Chains A and B, each alone.
Chain A
């Protein structure tokens, strides 16, 4: 059975410190929900609240019709894979997998059968008699997932499960995890600080910043229609360009950059958001810029452009890999990137229909 999770005005305080405030959203049954945000944003705490490892200060968490608030962790039907894997170092893989059943006083025959089933599912068969220290990082993680599967929980929680793996293994396990989640069809909460991981895995992403939910939505919604400046900068690599300027009757003006936008009002200080792929470099472009950096990364390449007379908001909260202050980032087709020289002059346009507008003061999107 798969359940929907409801968070209703959830808050968590440690003494005077507010870790989470007014978290309010719901998930559909069987969804993979990714909680993402910079360190200290409260994402792990929110997951621990679901697992019952922390107690709520305010609000209600519901799984289906059941209020979880006062249910002890072991009765919540929540299984968790810890960032450290939390394998019991003195027990073999077999004993680790069987531990939840041993605690529940399940008969040895059933225990053995369940362990075999899970071991087969995760190809752990040959490793059953090894100790955790004799396993590689990826294998340990599979054991941790297996120990969770043995219990057959309704809700799975993954706390940064890939952070201890090397890059190659990470992308492989990402795919495997996603496939496993689809197969099980159970509601899953997945915590990460890596927005790429969030984008590739999630059915629904919850972006958190300083204990407040910034936006809940599909990866596409977050990417194309970020609710505010924080989400705009946090989601996407490289980060979204934010050009400072003013809004006059549906036209944006910021230095040499002009754009038609869908907001009819006039606002004195706004930020124009443009993804690198919406900055189109071509010889007939209206705005002139000088190439200051070239990053060919294969199928796409990035140009970092210095534009006379514009001011860019680089905000602190960026997860992008290439924060180059004061330079506008444009994406070009991979092969083309090799054709540019640093210092040369190029021309570009913005793709008007893809642009978003944020209020420069509040940071909220207004168009």
Chain B
């Protein structure tokens, strides 16, 4: 009797997991199907994401595309995307780390209000800030430049990053700071030698978030960039389905290519995250 119920339980759990996995994977498989079918038409499809014909034409078209002047436009844009996201991540993290340390460890007026304000700033959709940002960047002479886009991505990721990192700083016992202070360490030594190594998992996770949101960002990039060679990949991707005869196959191939760096980054950061988490607690 008991044995039977156990089996039923296992079967039930697996059924739920299978349905959930299918729901998540179905659209992804559809994209794969579109990417490898030569016509790239949505109308030919059945319910199952299985291609009738198989071809890598879309993938190679997307990757080896050349512009009017014969430049390898995909590689230029991939470079843009990686540069912008990477730079935005690093700049954003540098600000967020020091700010999170301050918010977590020092008492100062308006500390709570500051944290709340940053949370509120996350509640506005990106479009709302697009126009003022456009004027700001124009005034700074950064309109249409990679540096301008880095600045935007870095600043928009900072509030969320501070919130996340502050959580990681908060769980590190204050005893460690105090002990280091008694040992003669300055705030800078405490920050760099004691706390930073301990928030490494948090840094990994925050970096991943920052990188992904910059890498996937489309609206700002499409508003600010006006030169094809400065485009990031999401902008190109959108343009590949423009016009009267959208080539969904090309779009799907582009989507797949676009997700590879993110998957790679996730893979490496995740490994580091797990390492960091097992680094050991203070006691117990």
Interface residues of A (CB under 8 A from B): 51-53, 73-74, 78-80, 82-90, 99-100, 103-104, 131-133, 137, 140, 147, 151, 164
Contact = CB atoms under 8 A, between A and B. Distances in A.
A-B pairs, top 3 by smallest CB distance, nearest first, are: A133-B280, A74-B184, A86-B175
Nearest to B276: A90
B184 A53 contact: no
Contacts of B262: none
Given A103-B183, A151-B183, A85 B279 contact: no
A90 B197 CA distance: 7
A285 B183 CA distance: 62
A84 B180 contact: no
A305 B184 CA distance: 57
Contacts of B280: 89-90, 131-133
A85 B282 contact: yes
A253 B194 CA distance: 64
A151 B180 CA distance: 12
Given A86-B173, A90-B279, A73 B181 contact: yes
Given A73-B181, A99-B183, A86 B279 contact: no
Contacts, number: 71
Given A74-B183, A74-B184, A99-B183, 15 more contacts: A74-B181, A80-B178, A80-B179, A80-B182, A82-B175, A84-B173, A86-B175, A89-B279, A90-B197, A99-B180, A104-B184, A132-B280, A137-B283, A147-B179, A151-B183
B185 interface: yes
B227 to A, nearest CB: 46
Interface of B: 173, 175-176, 178-185, 189, 194, 197-198, 279-284
B182 A89 contact: no
B82 to A, nearest CB: 30
A186 to B, nearest CB: 15
Contact of B176 (A52, A86, A133): A86
B251 to A, nearest CB: 46
Contact of B282 (A89, A99, A104): A89
Contact of A87 (B184, B185, B197, B282): B282
Contacts of A51: 182
B184 A86 contact: no
Contact of A86 (B178, B189, B197, B284): B178
6 contacts: A53-B182, A80-B179, A82-B178, A86-B176, A133-B280, A140-B283
Nearest to A135: B280
A86 B181 contact: no
A73 B175 CA distance: 14
A97 B175 CA distance: 16
A19 to B, nearest CB: 17
Contacts of A53: 178, 181-182
B194 A88 contact: yes
A191 B189 CA distance: 29
A100 B198 contact: no
B184 A89 contact: no
Contacts of A133: 279-281
Contact of A164 (B175, B185, B197, B283): B283
A100 B283 contact: no
Nearest to A132: B280
A170 B178 CA distance: 25
A85 B182 contact: no
A90 B176 CA distance: 12
Nearest to B183: A100
B175 A84 contact: yes
Nearest to B280: A133
B180 to A, nearest CB: 7
Contacts of B284: 164
A85 B185 contact: no
Contacts of A83: 175
Contacts of A78: 182
Interface centre among A85, A86, A87, A164 (most CB of B within 10 A): A86
A86 B179 contact: yes
B107 to A, nearest CB: 12
Contacts of A73: 178, 181-182
A248 B185 CA distance: 64
Interface centre among A78, A80, A83, A137 (most CB of B within 10 A): A80
A147 B194 CA distance: 15
Interface centre among B175, B178, B179, B198 (most CB of A within 10 A): B179
Nearest to A104: B184
Contacts of A80: 178-179, 182
Contacts of A137: 283
Contacts of A140: 283
Nearest to B194: A88
A73 B178 CA distance: 9
Contacts of B194: 88
Contacts of B182: 51-53, 73-74, 78-80
A85 B183 contact: no
A82 B197 CA distance: 21
Contacts of A89: 198, 279-282
A99 B175 CA distance: 15
Interface centre among A100, A103, A151 (most CB of B within 10 A): A103
Contacts of A131: 280
A243 to B, nearest CB: 44
Contacts of A90: 197-198, 279-280
A53 B178 CA distance: 7
A137 B198 CA distance: 21
A74 B182 CA distance: 5
Nearest to B278: A133
A88 B284 CA distance: 14
Nearest to A100: B183
